[in-house]
Every structure is written in structure tokens, then in C-alpha cells.
Structure 1
Amino acid sequence: MTAGPLDPGAARPAPFGERLAAAMVAFGPLCAGIDPHPGLLAAWGLPDDASGLRSFALTVVDALGGQVAALKPQSALFERHGSAGMAVLEEVIAAARSAHTLTIVDAKRGDIGSTMTGYAEAFLREGSPLAGDALTVSPYLGFGSLQPAIDIAAANGRGLFVLCLTSNPEGAQVQHARTASGETVAAQIARQAGAVNAAELADRGGSAAGASVPSMGSVGLVVGATIGDAARTTGVDLSAVRGPLLAPGVGAQGAGSAELAQVFGSARGQVLASSSRGVLAAGPDGRALLAAARRAADDAAQALQG
């Protein structure tokens, strides 16, 4: 289900949205984070350096590779260790690929022109050691600023998750603001992501990956599961996005079936629940990590069924 060897001459993989939909059917709607916070490293008895980082991250991949829909390494927590940390991130992405597990690199990149192209080539181009299967991106220099990433992702069978409605209190200041046309920023982002997905799905015939998951394009949104009625009040039509919705805060993390019905409505089948500390706290034992991930996947599936 992943991109295959990082060989510039390798065949382009199937579109990310199609591969993710299949992984969600196979393993449940869970994305397990790889977030090596200093406190977690200490709790695992590991030093806060590149060696501890490597032991932590590869333990997670060894335990969960081939067992969850996706893994999501948090780039900032690798970057804080400098070039040695980035080398570990490259190793983690390669290990997840070898385990046939999708990776979403959580780097939240966003810039303009050649700089955005540089980020896209680093994280999305076939042949780059930092290229997972998808990348989180920030649209707050305008959705159009993401075009290089959209183009490079599409050309390489990869995907994007665009920040849209996040649960941090500060997010509303920008995301709920209204443009000159009266549309909220969040609604504009969701609408433009939906247009990209509509074109992709039309191009590939809208083929479904499985009966329990709708056809999905490769441009998803990040939407917090604990945002209440924000999607409704900001005019965001999540179903119309026709892409995956990466959602922190599902199930044991805080949002149950009632909350998810309020946030996602009929788009619940598109939700990929993100759990990091809830799973990682079970480590460093690999069997305990896997058990925690399976519980989180079951909790998310139950909550999303409503």
C-alpha cells in the first residue's frame, strides 16, 4: 500500500486517497503518531538525543508496521535533534515503507513559489529520502500557494492534509474569519480542497476502495474532533471535500459518537483518527504498543459508527 522503493525510475504508486481508503478498510480508521517528546523519551528510559530518538521511533515502527492504517512522524521532534534527527526521520520513513505501512509526515509546511516547490520536492518527490506517502501543509499564505505541493504530490501518487479547522483556541482567529465575499477562511480551504479531489476522482473514474469507505481524493483536511459545531457555523461542508479527514481527539482521546456526529456528520466515513500519546504511553514494550493501537482503532471505529 505504500510508495515502493525510492527509485526515481520506479512506477508511480496508486493515488494516495485510494491507498489510504484501502488501508482504513484493512486496519481500521487509526493513524498512530510517532511523537518523540522529551517526556516520552524519559518515560521510556531513553536519552533525549539522536540515539534515544532512533530507538523510540523504530520501536514504534517495528510494533505497529503492517498493523495500522498509517503512521505519522512529527517532523519537528526529529528536527530538534539537527541533522542526526533528520537522518532518523529518513530511516523511519524507509522502515515504514518496508513494513508496507503508509506514512504521513507531519511537517505543516507552507510557503510560496520556489520555496514551496523546495518543500514539496523534499517531502513528496519520488527519490527523496524524506518522502512519505503524505504531508501536512499550512494554507495560510493562500490555498493557491500550495499548488506546487498539489502538483508534485499528484505526479508522485502522494497526498496532502491541509490544516482547516484545528482544535487549538488560537486557530479560530484565522480559520473562522470571513473573506471579502463573506465566506469563512475554513470554508474556502475546504471548498478548494474539494475541487482538487473532484478533478482527481473524475480522472480516475471515482473508483471505490471498499464498501465501508467512500471514494476519496488525495487532498485531505486536518479537522479536530473536539471542535463542536465549528464546521456548521463556519459553513464547511466536509462531505463535499471527498477526501480524508485527519482528526485528533477521537474515541478515548475525548470525542465519542455524539461529538463526532456533531463535528463530521455524514462525513464520518472519511475520518482517520490520529492518536499519538494515547498509544505511545504504552511503550516501550512492542506488544503493549500494538495492544494500545488496536484498542484505539476499535474505539475510533465504534465512535465513528455512532
Structure 2
Amino acid sequence: MGFDFVSEVAARPPLVLGVDPRPAWHPGPDPLAHLEGYATRLMEALAADLAAVKFQYAFFEALGGSGWALLERLVATARVLGLPVVHDAKRGDIGTTAAAYARATLERWPGSALTVNPYLGGDALEPFFAAAARGGGAVFVLVKTSNPGSADFQDLDAGGRPLYLRVAERVAAWAEAWPAEPWSRVGAVVGGTHPEALEALRPVLPASLFLVPGLGAQGASPLPGAGLLWSASRSLFYPDGRPDLEAARRQAAAYLRDLAG
């Protein structure tokens, strides 16, 4: 099968670099060229310290065709560096549309992972699970997100338990159906801004990797734990609010010290 996302990230440090590009923060007459050069150097500098690189699709989509081209080049660069890739696109649709989304991400980039939305139910996610299994990839299902408004729906009472725990029970069944080593191909997105949810969800999802956003700008505190992939975007890609390679190195080292306990 070649490169396998699950086994690769399990053997690496638990820190994920989130790439949310802001061209306006890059100097010079060609901000995208500066951005690409900075992102490449940063991935090279941090490669040994990262579990994966997470590309937030919205920031690339906002740039139109040039953004899509930049995304493809940076994903290719990450793979050349041996870095696992997470496509943070939060896809979720039915039938042939879901299959097309899977082809555009998990099949186009075998050995990568994709974030998905479970709101449309299990049949909408099956094409993503199948594509991940064929290509040695993974799927992270939104369970408890890092934003304050997640409580609007995710914390609703569902038979005496919050809805996010009911979602987690379904994710656990999918994780059992799509095994890999040493974790399932079906993981969960659990915001680090909700440490109580992290604690409550681990026994419900014993086979799943957790993608944990929220470090830095959202205020989450890094906590050590098996199968937790902590993602930092603005605080690591743009430390101090600007592109700064040395500051990013220092920030990564600080996060890894905290995650080592």
C-alpha cells in the first residue's frame, strides 16, 4: 500500500502544523510566492517535530485558482518531506457527491486524511471510509468542535447524554468497522478547548485517533495523552502574528515540551 497515514502519525511527535495562509501578511510584490517559500521552509524546519501538516481548505479556496494551485504544490511538498497530510475541508454529502469529494482528496493523495461532517449520517461517510481504506488514509469525523458555538447543537440532551457523545458512539462503530494499526482509520475531531470532552470521549472511542484543534489562538492548553494529535495553526504558522521561522521553531519546541508532560 505504501505510505500509511495511521501508522506514520502514530510513530511521530503529537504536534500538527495548521496552514491557514494569509497572503496580506506576506511582504513584497508577490505575496503568494513569499507565502509558498515561507511555508516550504517552515515544513522543512519542523518536519522532525510534526505528526502531520493540516491544510485548511477555506483559506486556499478564497484565493481562487491560484489558491488551489498553491494548495496542490504545498501538499506535494509536504509529502516529499515525508510529512503526513490532513485535508481540513469538513466534507459531508451523499452518494456520488461524497464519492467525488473522496476522489478529490483521499484518492488524489493516498496516505492522507480528511475531516468530515457527520450530520448527513453514515451513508454519506461510507465513500470516505472506503477511499481511506483503499489508499492507506484516515478520516476524522467532527465530534466536539473547538468553537464556543459548538454547544448550540453538540451539547443538546440526547436521551440523557449530550449529542456529541451519541455521535461518538456511532463513530466508535465505524472505527471498529475500518481498523488499521495501531489505530482505526476512523478518528474524531475533538477541540482542545473542551478538556472535559477529551476525557469523556476517550473511553467511548478507544480505537480512534483524535485530531485536537485549538492550541494557541483559541486558548487550548496542550495535554499529553495517547492518540492525541494537537493542531496549532495561527500560533505556529504565524507566531506573534507574522511569518517568523525562528519564532515558529521556538513555539513548536515549547508545545512539544508541554505535550511530553
Query: Could you tell me how far 1:218 is from its partner in structure 2?
Result: 1.7
Gaps of 5+ in 1: 1-11, 208-214, 262-267
1:36 paired with 2:21, answer yes
Contact conserved, 1:106 with 1:135, CA < 8 A, in 2?
Answer: yes
CA 1:199 to 1:143, structure 2 compared with 1: closer, same or farther past 3 Å? closer
Q: Deviation per CA, 1:66-117: give whole Å up to 9, x if none.
A: 4311111111111111111111111111111110111111111111111111
Determine the C-alpha separation between the residues in 1 that align with 2:46 and 2:29: 22
Q: Secondary structure at the match of 1:222?
A: strand
| Residues 139 and 94 of structure 1: CA distance in aligned 2, closer, same or farther (over 3 Å) | same
Separation in structure 2 between the aligned mates of residue 48 and residue 190 of structure 1, nearest angstrom: 45
Q: Distance in 1 between matches of 2:187 and 2:96?
A: 23
SS in 1 for 2:148: coil
Q: Secondary structure at the match of 1:33?
A: strand
**Fraction of identical pairs, as percent:** 37
Which of 216, 222, 244 is matched with 2:209 structurally?
244
The Cα offsets for residues 39-76 of structure 1, whole Å up to 9 and x where unpaired, read as xx42x425685434423432332322343111111111
Alignment of 1:169 with 2:148, yes or no, is yes
- Alpha-carbon contact 1:63-1:289 (below 8 Å) kept: no
1:81 aligned to which of 40, 43, 63: 63
Contact 1:66-1:99 at 8 Å conserved across structures: no
Q: Deviations over 1:273-303 (max 9, x none)?
A: 111111123464434423322222222332x
**TM-score of the two chains, using structure 2 as the length reference:** 0.86
* Aligned with 2:122 (options 143, 159, 171): 143
Q: 2:253 aligns with which of 294, 298, 302?
A: 294
* C-alpha distance after superposition, 1:2-52 (max 9, x if no partner): xxxxxxxxxx236432222112xxxx21001111135xx42x425685434
Letter in 1 for 2:118: P
Distance 1:297 1:251, change over 3 A: farther
Aligned-residue offset at 1:155: 1.0
List runs of 5+ in structure 2 lacking aligned partners.
none
1:45 aligned partner: 27
Structure 1 residue 92 corresponds to structure 2 residue 74: yes
* Alpha carbons of structure 1 residues 99 and 14: separation in structure 2 relative to 1, 3 Å: closer
Secondary structure in 2 matching 1:177:
coil
Selected match of 1:254 from 219, 233, 245: 219
Equivalence for 1:221: 188
Is the aligned partner of 1:21 residue 2:27? no
Note closer, same or farther for the CA distance 1:18–1:62 as it changes in structure 2 (3 Å cut): closer
Query: What is residue 199 of structure 1 aligned with on the other side?
Result: 177
Pairs aligned (count): 258
Q: Letter of the 1:55 partner, please give it.
A: G
Do structure 1's residue 279 and structure 2's residue 258 form an aligned pair?
A: no
Per the normalisation by structure 1, the TM-score is: 0.74
Alignment of 1:123-142 (within 5 A): 123-125=105-107, 128=108, 133-142=112-121
Please identify runs of 4+ aligned residues in structure 1 that moved more than 6 A. Answer: none
Q: Secondary structure at the match of 2:40?
A: helix
Cα RMSD, aligned residues only: 2.7
Partner secondary structure for residue 164 of structure 1: strand
Question: Does 2:17 correspond to 1:58?
Answer: no
Alpha carbons 2:129, 2:185 under 8 Å: kept: no
